[in-house]
Structure 1
């Protein structure tokens, strides 16, 4: 019997694609300090107890990392480093010296440190959830309380939490967890990275997630950022059918990407930290974005040329026979590095970041380019190199000259700034290819911080103004016969992928779980149909209307994804 009352719709940030229907299972709240604080013992003894609890947390994270491998290992390894951070230890020592018992010292020091991360914004703010998890696990150990963990209702369920820590996310079983909804978190959080790797739909930053009760049925849409409470029978059936179709595509959609009339559109991977062999096992045609920050983060000194060469050679060898596009270090803004000082900046996102760091630290870029060239020569790999945050044709020419001087033969740049997109006809004459980073291009086009969870509609990649800029680059690429790739998360949306091809994209790069859906969408539309869908999106007055117009005009088997 169908439900008679209207479903309640909760909005969040679309974080990982897919859809699911199931009962809610809520994460248990974190351990609480008792209302009565006991008298502290000897400060040194309390500090040592706190240190042992944090080391225990770090050791368990290391064990999990060793067991899991891949992206999960890198994420958990980074969290273990946080637990062992000397600065955190120093702050705890200050608290015990002031008279805090060990558990209170850990809790208070972590909270102070967490507030600093949140205030810093961007990448650092999204590490605050990792630190909160470290705090909770250490406090639980010190007070002999149950360790925080995942619920086990005994049935497949939608996991709902204030936030999810990496240590919990990596233990999710896709056979029992249908999807994720969190009250906090942003689109670049570790939770999102890992959820995408598991193929789980996720909605984060859902302010009303705390209203969801255990056992209530919800339908979640990770593409729209939507949670429907107690969906009616038709809605539930539609969402389940969509989830089943997506699962079917995961197992049946294989091979090179191409439109229905045979126009090749290589489908590539966005790759970062993790095991290269695991990444290479996916059915992709290569790497469209190799993020190199994992070699530089959590260090006080930059890696040497030799260290970088070894790391790149391992990655290149894993993808033997397939092209790889390497992005040079994208430091600054939300990824500050201790050895890349840029001075005080009121607005780091508009400051010295990406290629701009070469103005202050040219040797860092020269060493990286030389290491990439050496690894390319050693492995014989098909490697292209691009610089992030290039804003002008002059910068593109400067980077191309520098890269070629170090032995790089195929050079490109990322288009993430409206100024670069608007002068694409001039910029593309300086390089061999370009790749559009839709995440940053959206934030600069819409003047909206992409780490800010309160304005997700302005960062919607369906915004017609953003699509117009992408079309400007695509037209220049077609005229000059220069390849134009898209490596932002926009490429992972099957419907939007059709629009991007219609706007002139010649390749698409995405996370692995998105490959089958995009491949299927392309195979069901000719390039002419992609052009028509692109025009519909450009003519729309809003992102919502652009998406709706394309969904209505696309073939039913794709519109239902």
Structure 2
């Protein structure tokens, strides 16, 4: 096949020969052990400890989000439930290798059935299992090849331990057969600005040494490219490098219309990079990192310290803090652990917080205290809002706690269609395009089998964004986007044309979006958006916008040349 399709991460492009990951150790046979159960237990405990220590060491070396992922993986290796499952099999006379293989496989199947965020972590569990088995056999762990020259790394689904320490002088791009937009490979590729495409099912057909082009912007792997295609890829790569090296300026269109470019942050650890890359504030500060690994809600003081560390990095700038967004793929025992038939449509986000109001009140109290101790301009918003009444209740509660600017996330079609009423009752709206696309298209955003439907370019999604943008203009209230759509440079222009006035994204995407905005005036952005809205499919919308953007740039260049 000349071109393979997948889910692109970022807008990078790279070319080179394929190198495939070293295979995992062969699955152990179901056979009786020649050792005693006690001896096998000692072997397994030693191997698990070695693997956990290695993962933690790699995490300390890598730092950032990679450290979080690897520490979570090390915790998986030492999970008491897994240890019990392994111990049961060892007592039954199985070998350590088989006991680990079977127990981990059973636990992986459970995570896959749960789906969502936990389903995405299933592959992490397989990597831990393979590492433990390799340790038991005295073999090196599966890992990244070293062919001695730059290459395109192709893997079933890259392990976090390997992604974290990739030699980026050698690895030009990543292609994985498995994985979705929130897999660890995608998460770490965004953080490290690695060109990557995940979920490329046909990548299994790629052979060692085969020349390919990886075009993340198009979500395409071009096999056996022509010299012309290679030259074009090199030119685009050079253009991306020039954009990254360009002086940092405030986000703005060609006519000077300001479009502040903000950062999406998941913890205080990411602030330094965001500031260095020119973030003009924070458009989405996710507070879940404080809650997800806890057995009970953190105290007001613990929260205040964490929030304050982020706010201090942005004196005088806007920091939009999202209240705890738990439930669905992020269940919390102290918030909502009741089983639900369809948790994505259940007690999640603001619904869960309103059912446990003290947790919300504590969070607002901590945020207000952090605000008093810093110079940041703090905004707070509620996740997963479906009704105007919910928005009104949250806004009142935030102001009661001393937070002057309160708004909501637009992630559900119902609230997008009621945007005019919404913005008459709250201070701002921030569109979460990941969930808005999921709920509009009825396609789980973490499920690879429906990934093709999870496209914010779909005209149905763009029309909903237009409703919110129009309501923002009419009410003179700010409307931002903090979903992954804002990191797509051309789609960012479309969003501005639809009435969005701030864009928030992974810091790694700031330079490309900044450069693209400078090519178009507000009038042109509206024209490009209008072209996308005439389409019937996501692909047609993208093509229409690309053509309109090219025409707009030519119309700008030609008069200048004639003059």
TM-score, with structure 1 as normaliser: 0.96
Partner of 1:502: 497
- Any gaps of 5 or more consecutive residues in structure 2? 555-563
1:370 pairs with 2:370? no
The alignment partner of 1:379 has SS state of coil
Is residue 461 from structure 1 mapped to residue 456 from structure 2 by the alignment? Answer: yes
Aligned position for 1:440: 435
Which one of the candidate residues 22, 25, 28 is aligned to 2:19?
A: 25
Among candidates 331, 336, 344, match of residue 331 of structure 2: 336
Partner residue, 2:167: 173
Contact 1:433 1:483 in 2 (8 A): yes
Return the offset for 1:36: 7.7
Contact 2:524-2:552 within 8 A present in 1 as well: no
Segments of structure 1 that go 5 or more residues without pairing to the other structure are: 1-6
Q: Using the TM superposition, give the Cα deviation of residue 23 of structure 1 relative to its aligned residue in structure 2, in angstroms.
A: 0.6
Q: Is the 8 A contact 1:74 1:273 kept in 2?
A: no
Alignment-derived partner of residue 118 in structure 1: 112
Aligned to 1:417: 412
For residue 51 of structure 2, the aligned residue among 57, 62, 77 is 57
The residue aligned with 2:385 is: 390
Q: Deviations over 1:5-51 (max 9, x none)?
A: xx611111223331111110100111124558462422233223212
Q: Displacement, 1:341?
A: 2.2
- Aligned residues of 2:336 and 2:347 also touching (Cα < 8 A): no
Match for residue 106 of structure 1 among 92, 100, 107? 100
Instruction: Report the number of matched residues.
Output: 553
> Aligned-pair distance for 1:344?
2.2
Q: How does 1:481-500 map to 2 (within 5 A)?
A: 481-500=476-495
1:47 corresponds to which of 38, 41, 44? 41
Task: Pick one of 182, 202, 211 that aligns with 2:205.
Answer: 211
Maintained 8 Å contact 1:387/1:413: yes
SS at match of 2:363: helix
SS in 2 for 1:341: coil
Q: Deviations over 1:527-555 (max 9, x none)?
A: 00000000000011111111111112214
Partners of 2:334 and 2:267 lie apart in 1 by: 20
Q: Which residue of 1 aligns with 2:267?
A: 273
The answer (yes or no) to whether the contact 1:157–1:178 under 8 Å persists in 2 is: yes
Residue number among 121, 124, 128 corresponding to 1:127 in the alignment: 121
Q: Report the secondary structure of 2:361's partner residue.
A: helix
- Contact kept in structure 1, 2:16 and 2:213, CA below 8 Å: yes
Alignment of 1:163-242 (within 5 A): 163-242=157-236
- Rounded to whole Å, the distance in 1 between the matches of 2:404 and 2:150 is 51
Name the SS of the counterpart of 2:201 in structure 1.
coil
Matches for 1:343-382 after TM superposition, within 5 Å: 343-382=338-377
Q: Cα–Cα, structure 1 residues 97 and 337, in superposed 2: closer, same or farther, change >3 Å?
A: same
Is the Cα–Cα contact under 8 Å of residues 251 and 260 in structure 2 kept in the other structure?
yes
Structure 1 distance, partners of 2:318, 2:454, is: 30
2:297 aligns to what?
302
Q: 1:403 aligns with which of 381, 398, 401?
A: 398
CA distance in 1, matches of 2:82, 2:553: 50
Supply the distance in 2 between the matched residues of 1:374 and 1:140 (Cα, whole angstroms): 50
Name the structure 2 match of 1:140.
134
Q: Separation in 2 of the partners of 1:558 and 1:181?
A: 33
SS at structure 1 position matched to 2:312: helix
State whether structure 2 residue 248 is matched by structure 1 residue 254. yes
**How far does residue 249 in structure 1 lie from its aligned partner after superposition?**
0.7
- Say if 2:180 and 2:451, in contact at 8 Å, map to a contact too: no
Displacement after TM superposition at 1:331 (Å) = 0.3
Asked if structure 2 preserves the Cα contact closer than 8 Å seen for 1:22 and 1:217, the reply is yes
Q: 1:284 aligns with which of 262, 279, 286?
A: 279
Aligned to 1:4: none
Partner of residue 525, structure 1:
520
Give the one of 451, 465, 469 matched to 2:446. 451
**Aligned 8 A contact 1:110 1:132 in 2:** yes
Q: CA RMSD in A?
A: 1.6
Alpha-carbon distance change, 261 to 237 in structure 1, aligned in 2, over 3 angstroms = same
